Amino acid sequence: MLSTEFLLTSLVVVLMPGTGVIYTVSTGLFKGARASVAAAFGCTAGIIPHLLASILGLSAILHMSSLAYQTVKFAGAAYLLYLAWSMWRETGGLNFKNPDQKRGWRQIALKGILINILNPKLSLFFLAFLPLFVSPAATSPTLQMFGLSAVFMAMTLAIFILYGLSAHAVRARIVRSPKLVQWLQRSFAAAFAAVGIKLAMTDQ
């Protein structure tokens, strides 16, 4: 059974700005509403492996294996730095129309998936987070953890879509100012770079 504590804690966690939020908001600003929804789905899908790893105990192995953790960590940091570099060198601001839109949305979703998959801290977070809300009286703790994970994912998707659509809502106001577009692009690029560098420099 869902507790109020779990719902409130999950809401706070999802609302906290992280790489997924930065990516979804920037996509909503620069590529439109539908693209931001694709980004939200991608970022949400990217937490599935971490939730499964936590439920199955694989994240504990990742935590104990320094080599495995470091490999995933540096891969994630490198990918964030690549995204930062790509966004920094973009020109044309909001002209991101792709003749094959469905393929473009798939690429956007794939980037969101990779952003979260390549963050080993998510596995460790869910390993510590989910068991806190499993009832001692539960006949199947594993099944309850799957239920909690499904609720967390649904909240993540809803909040991320809201972030993306809110960003899209102010998109029209910045189209008129190329300088503002460039400043925003570089700000998001700097944010990705900062998170990537922080990830690479943290020990655990």
Reported as type and span, the H/E element at residue 54 is helix 48-56
CA 7 to chain centre: 19
What is residue 112's predicted lDDT score, i.e. its pLDDT? Answer: 92
Per-residue pLDDT of the chain (204 residues; tens, 9 = 90+): 678 888 988 888 888 878 889 899 989 988 889 999 999 999 999 999 989 888 887 666 666 666 766 776 788 788 778 877 877 776 444 344 444 456 688 999 999 999 999 887 787 788 778 877 877 777 887 888 899 999 999 999 999 999 999 988 887 776 666 676 677 777 878 877 887 787 678 765
What is residue 198's predicted lDDT score, i.e. its pLDDT? Answer: 79
Q: Distance between CA atoms of 116 and 198, rounded to whole angstroms?
A: 15
- The pTM of this model reads 0.76
What is residue 142's predicted lDDT score, i.e. its pLDDT? Answer: 81
Neighbouring C-beta atoms of residue 76, cutoff 10 Å: 24
What is residue 63's predicted lDDT score, i.e. its pLDDT? Answer: 61
Question: What is the 3-state composition of the chain as percent helix, strand, coil, each rounded to the nearest 5?
Answer: 80, 0, 20
Neighbouring C-beta atoms of residue 162, cutoff 10 Å: 14
Q: How many residues are given for the chain?
A: 204
What is residue 35's predicted lDDT score, i.e. its pLDDT? Answer: 93
Domain ranges of the chain: 19-201
Q: CA 46, 60, 9 angle in degrees (round to 5)? A: 60
